[in-house]
Structure 1
């Protein structure tokens, strides 16, 4: 009975526990059996099916944050059930690396999540420009966090949609999207000026394009990852030092064109910097390590540094409800049960879909 009042439940990698039969016996005893549960993580629950997910959401109607990443059996049906049950409460959803999910088959259901603030669809191959357009046209005004890592079909138009619809975006992951051209980052710099966390790992943006983006939109950055962006060099370093002085964490691992002098400029200028990652940067020497003047920064990844404990301290798993503290969610269940606005919401969703279709077609011409 102790679970009855739990607000947060984390069961990552509990493959046996998260089987459908076990969930029904241990958690989902009956409808609304977990009225206080707000946050659940079932990451890696490879035996969780739509049937088990349905039982879970029926037992916890006030869920605000759901992590279902790496759930191999989860299908489009499960996402539709979740969206229909939690349309008025869900604020964060992670369905990354779920191989059976077709993004374009579930986009209408996701568009019903009118309070959604954080969406992760990393590694879902079917995520495309059209999907981004539809979702952000409907939800972009609320969205604060997006994760599109490992979605190879995305092009510059996806970044154009992000810049147009999500000007309040705070966190964006575009890692391993090698097909994105420089123009995509230019779109982003024009529209998103409040980004605090940006991950561009293993992309092909040029040094001057990244530098220009940081000049336009780097002032709010607290975490920047340019891991294995091969063209990063002196221009990016100068822009970081001049425009991104609020950085707390910077990853330049694999950036072979960064020099001792460039790193020294960054570290000496960014007084708030606490973590600098330099894995695979064999060109960096003791000249940088011995001459920079920032005693607060922890440097990891070089042969002369050893900081497993430091890395684990700064790479702790992301907190759920990052943008929506639990104390603000006490009345979500009442809004969910009202039901009176359903026809209005349906008409609004249809209007947003038509608007997105028109916008998408115009931008592709």
Structure 2
């Protein structure tokens, strides 16, 4: 007998978790929806089913992680870390923009009925001020540690109200691509949440130099920061940032036109223990900057130099001085010889992922396997 789509297990969950690198364990309750597209139910019935199912678990009192995202369809799953028996519940709703499900409905549900949730991610779900307001007006017991609104249509007042409500517990804020946010709003957020550890304000076009100055003076506890595509980012602002945010381990400056080799010199000077660094699309970055990075940041694990001026000399230095920890390197659209790529693969024993998009002559799979059997090259040679 054919299994109903509502109760059919979603194999994509396991694949999603495995690809993400998170060591998690799927527990028994699992719901694969595919937006219930194969079922005869109305859109309203489908939405009601999803909301009821979500509420029953988020309010059940079990200390588990909840995720609702798109992976070959729409998945809602309960997960538990292998190493951790107790974890605060999170709801993750990403890329769900079908007619039967919208980020605002989930945010309203959490605000009304789910007081145990500590993190929400409604990235690219179509969520708007309506949902953010509903979350702000939610149950008094709700204490959010993580708010992720990437790609959502959010404006100043609702976001400020939400942050003010959860300022004492908030550790992560992501508003990538939220084009309506103004510098004054962000400055208020920075001043209210000095204990923020993770911040993503990439592609927020109105960010200016003053708001970045306030950020660097207020957010001393930052561990990860994404400033993708910001015109206001310069070598000088990054230098000040690094001197103030001494705990920073992950920095993304992709497509920031004001970033040059001087920023990489500052990284080596003030953030020698940085683990993840992205300057893809920064055309003024050359081998001179990569030299400083390689000599000063031996614990680098992830590095993206795609579409920069990085060449053979820079890659050779990375192979010689950063081989101990590097596991992900992206060199798409860079001019480097096959011999130096093979040297990088040979020296970096922990290398798992290597991006070489835009190359005309890739090393062959046999050549790569001859020096490193673990690395995966994209695109496939």
State the distance in 2 between where 1:290 and 1:149 align: 32
Q: 1:13 aligns with which of 95, 98, 102?
A: 95
Task: Tell me the TM-score normalized by structure 1.
Answer: 0.75
Q: 1:206 aligns with which of 277, 286, 306?
A: 286
- Aligned-pair distance for 1:267? 1.0
State the distance in 2 between where 1:198 and 1:129 align: 22
- Aligned-pair distance for 1:266? 0.9
Could you tell me which residue of structure 2 aligns to residue 135 of structure 1? 215
Could you tell me which residue of structure 2 aligns to residue 112 of structure 1? 192
Could you tell me which residue of structure 1 aligns to residue 244 of structure 2? 165
- Aligned-pair distance for 1:28? 2.6
Task: Tell me the TM-score normalized by structure 2.
Answer: 0.72
Q: 2:268 aligns with which of 184, 189, 206?
A: 189
CA contact (8 A) 2:152 2:177 kept: yes
Q: In structure 2, do the counterparts of structure 1 residues 290 and 296 end up closer, same or farther at CA, with 3 Å as the change threshold?
A: closer
Number of matched residues? 293
CA contact (8 A) 1:260 1:287 kept: no
Q: In structure 2, do the counterparts of structure 1 residues 71 and 292 end up closer, same or farther at CA, with 3 Å as the change threshold?
A: same
Q: In structure 2, do the counterparts of structure 1 residues 286 and 91 end up closer, same or farther at CA, with 3 Å as the change threshold?
A: same
Could you tell me which residue of structure 2 aligns to residue 96 of structure 1? 176
- Aligned-pair distance for 1:52? 2.7
- Aligned-pair distance for 1:46? 2.7
- Aligned-pair distance for 1:133? 2.0
Q: In structure 2, do the counterparts of structure 1 residues 10 and 200 end up closer, same or farther at CA, with 3 Å as the change threshold?
A: same
Could you tell me which residue of structure 1 aligns to residue 110 of structure 2? 27
- Aligned-pair distance for 1:136? 2.0
CA contact (8 A) 1:261 1:288 kept: no
Q: In structure 2, do the counterparts of structure 1 residues 21 and 197 end up closer, same or farther at CA, with 3 Å as the change threshold?
A: closer
Q: Is residue 165 of structure 2 the alignment partner of residue 82 of structure 1?
A: no
CA contact (8 A) 2:103 2:122 kept: no
Counting helix residues as a fraction of each chain, which structure ranks higher?
1
State the distance in 1 between where 2:299 and 2:294 align: 10
Q: In structure 2, do the counterparts of structure 1 residues 108 and 27 end up closer, same or farther at CA, with 3 Å as the change threshold?
A: closer
- Aligned-pair distance for 1:290? 5.5
- Aligned-pair distance for 1:129? 3.0
CA contact (8 A) 2:286 2:311 kept: no
- Aligned-pair distance for 1:114? 2.6
Q: Is residue 330 of structure 2 the alignment partner of residue 251 of structure 1?
A: yes
- Aligned-pair distance for 1:160? 1.0
Counting strand residues as a fraction of each chain, which structure ranks higher?
2
Q: In structure 2, do the counterparts of structure 1 residues 277 and 47 end up closer, same or farther at CA, with 3 Å as the change threshold?
A: closer
State the distance in 1 between where 2:369 and 2:105 align: 61
CA contact (8 A) 1:97 1:123 kept: yes
State the distance in 1 between where 2:195 and 2:127 align: 29
Structure 2 residue runs of 5 or longer lacking an equivalent are: 1-54, 67-88
State the distance in 1 between where 2:228 and 2:314 align: 22
Q: Is residue 138 of structure 2 the alignment partner of residue 59 of structure 1?
A: yes
State the distance in 2 between where 1:53 and 1:121 align: 17
